[in-house]
Amino acid sequence: MSNRAIAVVGSPQVESTVGLAASIAVASAKAHGESCLLVDLVPDDTVSRSSTLLASAEARSLEARLRATGLESASRGHICAISLAESSWDEIDPAEVTEAATPSRIVLSLGSKRPHERIAEWQEGVGGCVALLDLPAERSLGALVFAEMSARGIPVKLCGRPPGLVAARRALAGVLPGGHAEQYGLRVVSHFDRVSRSGDRAR
């Protein structure tokens, strides 16, 4: 498994990308037997999520590694989460976060505000992008996202069906969401794992 990040972005018509990002993070934890770090970019007045009573040993270990570098995080089920205020984005070092998280994968929930700039800042550490769009209405926007990410060498998957409310809450608690959300998350992880392996062979 590569620990290169999966970035989840959305359009202005999408309310939030964090439910989808959390579903992918939990799927990655299940597929690899290792906790996954969810970095959620949130408005400045958002209260950070706290740790859950039930958290895996891998998630607690990841939380400890992150806190040792000064990164506030919370172990939640099978994942570890960082709620990062938009005004604090420039204060973190992607390389430092990636090093602290290794060997865990990182999933970035970037929403719709300047996501391409955020991805550019993580450029070397992003191994895939999932765009949550209002399809088919935003098909043309999807083509633009695909073209821009492809130009950066980042593979893209488009998603037109966000997790339901219950599934999103389960995923944010670090447990498998079940149903379509769980199956989609596992497909995304499997897809980017295959892309990463083929890229390694090419090099």
Say which CATH number the domain at 15 has. 3.40.50.300
- Residue at 113 is within a domain: yes
Q: What's residue 190's pLDDT? A: 93
pLDDT at 203: 31
pTM of the model: 0.90
Domain count, the chain: 1
Query: Which residue ranges in the chain fall short of pLDDT 50?
Result: 1, 200-203
Q: Is residue 127 part of a domain?
A: yes
pLDDT in the model for residue 125: 80
Structure token digits, residue 124:
């070397």
Residue 119 lies in a domain: yes
Question: Which pLDDT value is given to residue 200?
Answer: 46
Q: Pick from 24, 189, 2, 171: which is nearest to 103 by CA?
A: 2
Is 157 a member of any domain?
Answer: yes
Is residue 10 one of the residues assigned to a domain? yes
Please give the Cα distance from 99 to 140 (Å, whole number): 36
Do residues 35 and 136 lie in contact, with contact meaning Cβ atoms separated by under 8 Å?
no
Domain that holds residue 151: 5-188
Question: Does a structural domain hold residue 202?
Answer: no
Residue 144 lies in a domain: yes
